[in-house]
Amino acid sequence: MIKIKNLCKQFGKNEVLKDISLNIKQGEVVAIIGPSGSGKSTLLRCVNNLETATSGEVWFKEQEVTGKKADIQKIRTKIGMVFQHFHLFPHMTVLENVTYAPKTVNGISKTEAESSAKELLSKVGLSEKAEEYPGRLSGGQKQRVAIARALAMNPEVMLFDEPTSALDPEMVKEVLDVMKSLAQSGMTMAIVTHEMGFAREVADRVLFLDEGVLVEDASPQAFFTAPKSERAKTFLQKVL
Amino acid sequence: MIKNNKWMLLVLTAVMLTGWFAQGFLSEAPNASAKEKHNKTLVMGTSADYAPYEYIDTAKSNEIIGFDIDLARHIADELGYNLVIKDMDFNGLIPALDSGRVDFVMAGMTPNKERKEKVDFTKVYYSAQQLIVTKDENIKSIEDLKGKKLGVQLGSIQEKEAIKIKKKVKNVKVEKRNKIPDLVQELQTKRIDAAIIEDGVAVEYLNQNSKLKAFVIPDTGSAGSAVALPKGSDLTEKFNSEIDKMKENGELDKYVKKWFKIEKSENEKKDAAAIDFSVVWSSLDFILYGVITTLKFVAVSIVLGFLLGSLLALMKISKTAPLRWFADAYTSIFRGTPLILQLLIIYFATPQLTDYEISAFLAGVLTFGLNSAAYISEIIRAGISAVDKGQREASLALGIPYSSMMRQIILPQALKNILPALMNEFITLTKESAIIAVIGAMDIMRRAQIVGADTYRYFEPLIIAGLIYYVMVMGLTVLGRKLERRMSRGD
Ligand SMILES: Nc1ncnc2c1ncn2[C@@H]1O[C@H](COP(=O)(O)OP(=O)(O)OP(=O)(O)O)[C@@H](O)[C@H]1O
Ligand SMILES: [Mg+2]
């Protein structure tokens, strides 16, 4: 589903990603972990070209995201993204937030968009908040709306960048539960997270990034019980 | 969809408003004369704040009347033309003639060397005497002006007279003002000691105020009024022969008697109170009509400024460098030069460069629209960059096209933040709109000035105009607060 070949990314002289290659297969759930500043967000953002790769290739199915002729806008509709700070549209109601892109981008009728939006909202447990403005929701509720908003475009992949890092502890679970059921439904997912328990339980694979280098690419079982690299060992000691 | 519709509606309303107003002022442009007696038309330029030569009896009508007007009608009729009268600032008359905006000028204008270099004059049709008008009992001859402040109208023949006096008498300080009513007001408040005003004009002021005294300046030479025409115009000779005819058959004398006779007897003279609204009361309607002009003007300027400003703001944040340069240069030019200068350039240069006779209203709207676009673009640019970067990223990640993102995600949020600043800009625009009076647009300010000239009262019309502006600004402020409250319902 996603192929990354020899990806490098620099911000000025700062080499943030160094020669990263990896594949994510359809239906796979991949957790990306690593210390702060190691390039996790940047890697994720290169997938839908929010950051443009300095060199190397990123492929989404048969299309090269990094290609000159790539229809990025079209590709992005198939790649959902959820941000740490939600980024809901504050001047739209929850329902409008979820229906806006399908209506504007895919040209879906209002009624159709709203009925599928309501379905999604009930999936994330927020049916009764449809007419609310984001300003009146809790963090956990906001993030669930953001997930529904991304899902409304019927994406084939979902990217999550620390979806629970900005939440109060008591709200983390409600978001992780939604993500868990999404994973169970067979969605392809790449998740940057500091929730090690979640990564261990839900992910099919764990990618460990340090200083822009993909240090480990292993099953959660292998990674959490017997990390191969020194760096991963130190990291795990700190966080577990 | 709700938001989508709102924007559509806003743009639609804007377009319709612009269209509607455009229609309004285009049809208003030339004073279409009611009676199309002849099939040719002459456009006369004048400055209707110089009674009794040309002024508006504001208590009665909107029509410009006076000695020059009667004369012009008579001559035009004899020559087989309809007459259309255009009112503007006195200082704008020669440029208007130059740029072909008017065919001839009658405004109690005296031929002098500078003017003769630019335009042709007919022979003098009426010679006035120049008076020294003063409140000071001790000023009885020009020698008494030693060390005094002497006021004259800017660009007038009296200015030349003042320079002559200055050569003869020591220490005379010449003060220049735009209009005769300004001079009289300065006399009243003793900011100047004396003023040079010609007899026909001074009569009314002397009648109104017994404290004002006057005496004739000796040897004023052949100062007199003549018709100004473009250089080399073949109308000049025709005007001359008509003036000769009128002098012979006594028509001219009839008009002189009609307009320059001193009507009031000594006991009718009254000293007007310092502030007396009863005098201008009957002219209130006349000033209030200016509200329509000012409102139209402000509304069209705001719409134009806002649309253009949004466009410029988008250019400023675009990735294309030339667009950014253009928008930055535009802003820097319009912010870096005086508004009134921009107004005069657009008003006077357009006909010269393009052959298009831009109306005062259109020139005003264009200037204010272009000018406020510069300020609004800065406000909007700041507003856009204050919108959380995440909004843009979330939109991009959803594959939302740039234009939709701007119109429906970024701008609505920016707008909410910048509403107070925008409202401020609109209020400034409303108040500053008063300067279109300079090019003769009949807005509140110009009308107040005309009433001032007609009633020989200075303060009252200005106070009324001030009140009207204040009410309009308050209206805008209330509207702004309502809008703000409305837009913040999401929080
Ligand atoms: N737009 C940018 N311009 C310049 N440098 C950037 C930019 N974005 C990220 N960086 C730098 O790239 C490096 C990696 O950043 P990135 O956000 O990918 O790290 P991360 O692994 O997501 O960290 P965290 O866990 O704190 O989110 C950091 O050193 C950061 O300062
Ligand atoms: Mg990050």
ipTM of the prediction: 0.94
In sequence order, which residues have a C-beta less than 8 Å from that of residue B298 and are 6 or more positions away?
B426, B429, B430, B433, B472
End-to-end C-alpha distance for chain B, whole angstroms? 20
Question: Closest to A73 (Cβ–Cβ): which among B2, B390, B399?
Answer: B399
Q: Is the CB of A165 under 6 A from ligand 1?
A: no
Evaluate whether residue B10 is within a structural domain: yes
pLDDT at B398 over 80: yes
Q: What is the CATH number of domain A2-87+157-239?
A: 3.40.50.300
State whether B217 and B333 are in the same domain: no
**What does the pLDDT read at residue B222?**
55
pLDDT at A82 over 90: yes
Tell me what the mean pLDDT of segment B302-313 comes to: 93
Evaluate whether residue B278 is within a structural domain: no
Is there a contact between A89 and B2 if contact means CB atoms under 8 Å apart?
no
Residue A204 structure tokens: 């099919």
End-to-end C-alpha distance for chain A, whole angstroms? 31
Identify the CATH number of the domain in which residue B91 sits.
Answer: 3.40.190.10
A100 — contact with chain B (CB < 8 Å)? yes
Ligand 1 centroid to A43 CA: how many Å?
10
Q: Is the CB of A39 under 6 A from ligand 1?
A: yes
**For testing contact with chain B, the best of A78, A87, A151, A154 (most B CBs within 10 A):** A87
pLDDT at A210 over 70: yes
For residues B8 and B165, the model is more confident at B165
Among all ligands shown, which has an atom nearest to the Cα of A33? 1
| Residue % of chain B over a pLDDT of 90 | 42
State whether B117 and B147 are in the same domain: no
Phi/psi of residue A237, nearest 5 degrees:
-60, -40
Identify the CATH number of the domain in which residue B9 sits.
Answer: 1.10.3720.10
| Residue % of chain A over a pLDDT of 70 | 100
The rounded mean pLDDT for chain B is 85
Evaluate whether residue B269 is within a structural domain: no
Determine which residue's CA is closest to atom 10 belonging to ligand 1.
Answer: A11
Contact B383, B316 (CB under 8 A): no
Tell which A residues from 26 to 55 touch B, by Cβ distance under 8 Å.
Answer: 48, 50
Evaluate whether residue B385 is within a structural domain: yes
Query: Which of B202-206, B250-254, B285-289, B393-397 reaches the highest mean pLDDT?
Result: B393-397
Tell me what the mean pLDDT of segment B44-66 comes to: 88
State whether B115 and B135 are in the same domain: no
State whether B54 and B193 are in the same domain: no
B322-371 per-position pLDDT tens digit: 999 999 999 999 999 999 999 989 988 887 788 787 888 899 999 999 99
Contact B209, B272 (CB under 8 A): yes
Ligand 2 centroid to A163 CA: how many Å?
10
State whether B329 and B377 are in the same domain: yes
Tell which A residues from 129 to 158 touch B, by Cβ distance under 8 Å.
Answer: 133-135, 146, 149-150, 153
**What does the pLDDT read at residue B360?**
84
Is there a contact between A87 and B388 if contact means CB atoms under 8 Å apart?
yes
Q: Is the CB of A67 under 6 A from ligand 1?
A: no
Determine which residue's CA is closest to atom 25 belonging to ligand 1.
Answer: A36
**For testing contact with chain A, the best of B5, B393, B398 (most A CBs within 10 A):** B398
**For testing contact with chain B, the best of A65, A86, A91, A161 (most B CBs within 10 A):** A91
| Residue % of chain B over a pLDDT of 70 | 88
pLDDT at B6 over 80: no
A88-146 per-position pLDDT tens digit: 999 999 999 999 999 999 999 999 999 999 999 999 999 999 999 999 999 999 999 99
Burial class of residue B324, CB neighbours in 10 A (0-12, 13-18, 19+)? middle
Contact B42, B84 (CB under 8 A): yes
Instruction: Grade residue B221 by pLDDT with cuts at 50, 70 and 90.
Output: low
**What does the pLDDT read at residue B33?**
44
Q: Is the CB of A212 under 6 A from ligand 1?
A: no
A33-65 per-position pLDDT tens digit: 999 999 999 999 999 999 999 999 999 999 999
A25 — contact with chain B (CB < 8 Å)? no
> What residue segments make up the domains of chain A, in order of their start?
2-87+157-239
pLDDT at B490 over 80: no
**What does the pLDDT read at residue B2?**
45
Q: Is the CB of A37 under 6 A from ligand 1?
A: yes
pLDDT at B270 over 90: no
Nearest by Cα to B365 from B351, B352, B347, B341:
B347
HSE (CB half, 13 Å, CA atoms) of B372? 29
**Residue B174: beta bridge partners?**
B150
pLDDT at B450 over 70: yes
Evaluate whether residue B270 is within a structural domain: no
**What does the pLDDT read at residue B267?**
45
**What does the pLDDT read at residue B258?**
86
The range of the structural domain enclosing residue B319 comes to 2-30+284-490
Among B205, B221, B237, which residue terminates a domain?
B221
pLDDT at B256 over 60: yes
For residues A58 and B59, the model is more confident at A58
A160-201 per-position pLDDT tens digit: 999 999 999 999 999 999 999 999 999 999 999 999 999 999
B140-176 per-position pLDDT tens digit: 888 899 999 999 988 788 888 888 888 888 889 998 8
Evaluate whether residue B478 is within a structural domain: yes
**What does the pLDDT read at residue B27?**
41
Evaluate whether residue B276 is within a structural domain: no
Residue A123 structure tokens: 């999936």
Instruction: Grade residue B35 by pLDDT with cuts at 50, 70 and 90.
Output: low
In sequence order, which residues have a C-beta less than 8 Å from that of residue A143 and are 6 or more positions away?
A82, A86, A163, A164, A167, A171, A175
CA-to-CA distance for B269 and B456, rounded, in angstroms?
Answer: 14
CA-to-CA distance for A31 and A29, rounded, in angstroms?
Answer: 7
State whether B452 and B396 are in the same domain: yes
State whether B420 and B300 are in the same domain: yes
Query: Mind telling me how many Å the CA of B486 is from chain A's nearest CA?
Result: 11
For residues B244 and B25, the model is more confident at B244
**What does the pLDDT read at residue B281?**
82
Number of domains composing chain B: 3
CA-to-CA distance for B413 and B422, rounded, in angstroms?
Answer: 14
Q: For a pocket test of ligand 1, which of A40, A50, A52, A231 has the largest count of ligand atoms closer than 8 A to its C-beta?
A: A40
Closest-CA residue of A relative to B412 is: A91
Is there a contact between A88 and B397 if contact means CB atoms under 8 Å apart?
no
Among all ligands shown, which has an atom nearest to the Cα of A38? 1
Among all ligands shown, which has an atom nearest to the Cα of A42? 1
